Chain A
Amino acid sequence: MKTKNVMIVGVGGQGSLLASKLLGHLLMGQGYDVKVSEVHGMSQRGGSVVTYVRYGDKVYSPVIDKGEADYIVSFELLEAARWLSYLKPDGQIVTSTQQVDPMPVITGAAEYPTDLVNKMLATGAKVDALDCLSLAEQAGSAKAVNLVLLGRLSHYFDLPEEAWQKSIEACVPAKFLELNKKAFELGKNA
């Protein structure tokens, strides 16, 4: 199979590392060659963060470049827009509608663009936007947005439900397993 690309984008601290760990586990379990690339350190401190997940018969580069992502999974609306140019012409965006003001917006040096979902749709991108934060809170914790997003993403993956469940069990601490499974369900059925 030709290499497929998933980008996970968001704001440092939102939980993208667990999401990529889970996806990596899932795809490796399907027998694919997998590469996951993340960035640690300074940029994690509330900055724009991106994680690349690539899978296929043979994966070389650990990163995804412009025009290559089959999926962009975004924890935050502005971040989905920021990385839009990395999407393939027929790629799919799955994004939370949450908005987190970056510091230049907080200080008044810049404005948060309006109507981003429609503007992204207008470029021809497929956009699935949902209020993941409310769903995560409904599951029991605002921190479970990552599992809500993965639940939603599972719609677009032709993989058995059981494989997802197995990966959730393998990657999530036992203490929070039920909460995360619920978040996954809520995202999937939203």
Chain B
Amino acid sequence: MKQLVLGNAAVARGLYGAGCCVISSYPGTPSTEITEEAVKFPEIYCEWAPNEKVAMEAAFGACLAGKRSFCAMKHVGLNVAADPLYTMSYTGVNAGMVIGVADDAGMHSSQNEQDSRHHAIAAKVPMLEPSDSAESLKFAKLAFELSEQFDTPVLLKMCTRVAHSQSLVELSDRVEQPVKAYEKNIGKFVMMPGNAIRRHPVVEQRTAALTEWAETAPINRVEMGGTELGIITSSTSYQYVKEVFGDSVSVLKLGMANPLPIKLIRDFAAKVKNVVVVEELDPIIENHCRQLGIEVSGKDVLPITGEFCQNLVAEKLGGEVHTGKALEDVIPPRPPVMCAGCPHRGLFYTLSKNKCTVLGDIGCYTLGAVAPLSAMDMTLCMGASVSALHGFNKALGEAAGKTVAVIGDSTFMHSGMTGLANIAYNGSNSTVIIVDNSITGMTGHQHNPTTGYNIKGDPAGKIDLEALCRAMGFERVRVVDPYDLKACDAVLKEELAADAPSVIISRRPCALLKSVKHAAPLTVDTDKCRSCKACMKIGCPAISMKNGKAHVDNTLCVGCGVCEQLCAFGAFKSTK
């Protein structure tokens, strides 16, 4: 029977069906659920690795050992894992290995909208691109077959709308794969120059063979519907094209993003009068066509930025555009905010009050940049806060003033440690703040090496952050509770004044964790409230001004008491 399955869950189901045995991933929207769903199958060993590079290398080790393996990451995670990827292309695999990468056109939850297809082309690795959940399952299984047939890791490219959409899927059973006995093969697996020189031509021959395969592969299919307009498309863009035009135009639907077929595209283009390429983000299929000397339209009519949708495709390609009525009123935007009771709030309030320059990082705490806290000056990529703080301080010395780095526990484990090593080694007077909320928050509560639990929630190795920082040479390691504003302020001032590098660990578990018990909501004594709005400086979504007085929304308030500490008139009280 068919089931309604999330794209990412369908990938997990495909991995299960293909007999995949080992999965190592780092969470990242929109890829996270692949691994979270796969862990539900007892036949598959799953783990959260500290970062994507470690995950990919762990998966590589597993495939080398002879079992089918997988790793998942978001698009920017593939940059972190690019180093092993580009050389795994040379070594090839033993048992099959597949890498799931999820792009985020539209940047629903990302810092850029890079197109992962570039990595597939540059690394010379095949990439499959499903357009719905049924294909997600099918392509995950096919990816393992290709991996073993062509001796290559295979990329499975998801995007937000495929990863986070549910559609109907026919589930299939697991087929166990025999272990491919590991055999020593120095020439294939030891990539030193002498061996790599011999492997590179193998990679080029493989790409030629894969191109040949792509010419007739059923995942690249032609749906003829007239000779006027032919659309070449892939992934979720295919769905928008079909939504607008149904069977009234001809479509070449490409399920393989790399390598792209040549003859298939030439033949399709020859059958229609005009060819348009409909692809999100970069003009990769379009440039391929141009290279073949085929006259196509693409980014001259469709945008290179953001997500597509059916109205956009209709508007640009002459379909029926739907419109609706809007109100004349200005609808205020509703940007994401730190949750009520978020432990990061007290820390960012303290940083804002002390007028610090804050080099930030990737996680929920990036929301510290949002008004009214506005307590962040830079966010770049995982770990950059720590490394950039060092550079900032080296450049300006004493003149750097009150500059700090803020990084989460999971992000610190991912790539903050190496930056901290640089501070210790090359000696800058830097103050690094680790906001330790005991979980990977933004991606929906995944454990990491500092939480003491593994992906299944079972007890696991726990890295002691204080001991780690001390072992790296930091003599000043302080721990503070961000709900205690006075203590936060005092510790921050001391560490900024100190003539030595320091680490402040701002520690309190995420307020959304089920294990966290909340205090009763607060309420405002309107007789005591003087409408000074001091409590409004922390940007808590539970506090607003109603009839000139502060008001607490009791459905949101978790009684953290940070607002209470800001009120000089004792207007906040517990409802307990």
Q: Is the CB of A62 within 8 A of B236?
A: yes
18 interchain pairs, CB-CB under 8 A:
A34-B4, A41-B109, A42-B442, A45-B367, A46-B337, A47-B335, A61-B309, A67-B311, A81-B331, A82-B334, A88-B322, A100-B553, A103-B334, A103-B371, A104-B335, A107-B536, A108-B545, A109-B332
Indicate which residue in B161, B240, B336 contacts A43 across the interface (CB closer than 8 Å): B336
**Does A24 count as interface, using CB distance less than 8 angstroms?**
yes
| B185 at the A interface (CB under 8 A) | no
B160 to chain A minimum Cβ distance, whole angstroms, is: 7
Chain A 26-63 interface residues, beta-carbon cutoff 8 Å to B: 28, 33-48, 59-63
A124 vs B108: C-alpha distance when bound (angstroms): 32
Q: A68-B324, A87-B324, A110-B330 are in contact. List 14 more A-B contacts (CB 8 A).
A: A38-B164, A40-B29, A41-B30, A43-B108, A45-B337, A47-B334, A66-B322, A66-B323, A68-B322, A103-B371, A105-B332, A106-B536, A106-B539, A125-B325
Assembly CA distance A36 to B168 (angstroms): 10
Alpha-carbon distance between A140 and B440 when the two chains are bound, in angstroms: 32
- Residues on the B chain within 8 Å of A79, using CB: 334
- Is the beta-carbon distance between A47 and B329 smaller than 8 angstroms? no
Binds B, one of A111-119, A150-158, A173-181: A111-119
Binary contact track B521-548/A, C-beta < 8 Å → 1, others 0:
0000000000000001001010111000
The main secondary structure of chain B at its interface with chain A is loop
Assess whether A40 is in contact with B30, with CB atoms less than 8 Å apart.
Answer: yes
Of all chain B residues, the one with the shortest Cβ separation from A113 is: B329
Say whether B227 faces chain A, with CB atoms less than 8 Å apart. no
> Considering the complex, which residues of chain B in the window 154-180 have a beta carbon less than 8 Å from any beta carbon of chain A?
160-162, 164-168
The closest CB in chain A to the CB of B371 belongs to A107
Cα A109 to Cα B330 with chains together (Å): 12
Inter-chain contacts of B32 with A (CB < 8 A): 40
Chain B residues with CB below 8 A from A102, complex form: 332-335
In the complex, A42 Cα to B168 Cα: how many Å? 27
Complex CA distance for A43 and B364, rounded to whole angstroms: 10
| B567 lies within 8 A of chain A by Cβ | no
Task: Please report which residues of chain B, range 301-359, place their CB below 8 angstroms from some CB of chain A when the two chains form the complex.
Answer: 309-311, 322-339
Contact B311 A66, beta carbon cutoff 8 Å: yes
- In the assembled complex, the Cα of A82 lies from the Cα of B240 at a distance in Å of 23
A103 touches B29 (CB 8 A): no
* Count class of interface residues, chain B: 35 or more
Q: Which A residue's beta carbon lies closest to that of B7?
A: A62
Measured CB to CB, the closest approach of chain A to B550, in angstroms, equals 11
> Which of A11, A24, A107, A120 lies in contact with B334, CB distance below 8 A?
A11
A187 at the B interface (CB under 8 A):
no
Interface check A25, CB cutoff 8 A: yes
A113 touches B327 (CB 8 A): yes
Q: Known contacts A81-B329, A119-B327: does B543 contact A62 (CB below 8 Å)?
A: no
Q: Is A85 an interface residue (CB 8 A)?
A: yes
Contact (Cβ within 8 A) A45 B338: yes
In the assembled complex, B287 has its CB within 8 A of some CB on chain A: no
- Tell me the bound Cα distance from A28 to B1 in angstroms: 11
Q: Is B391 an interface residue (CB 8 A)?
A: no
Tell me the complex Cα distance, A44–B337, Å.
9
Q: Determine if A184 is an interface residue (Cβ-Cβ < 8 Å).
A: no
Q: Which residues of B contact A46 (CB under 8 A)?
A: 334, 336-339, 541
CA distance in complex: A46, B342 (Å): 12
Answer whether residue B461 sits at the interface, using C-beta atoms and an 8 A cutoff: no
Task: Report yes or no: A33 in contact with B168, Cβ–Cβ below 8 A.
Answer: yes
Q: Is B334 touching A42 in the complex (CB atoms < 8 A)?
A: no
- Residues from chain A with a CB closer than 8 A to the CB of B161 are 37, 62-63
**Given contact pairs A28-B168, A37-B161, A62-B161, A12 touches B336 in the complex (Cβ within 8 A):** yes
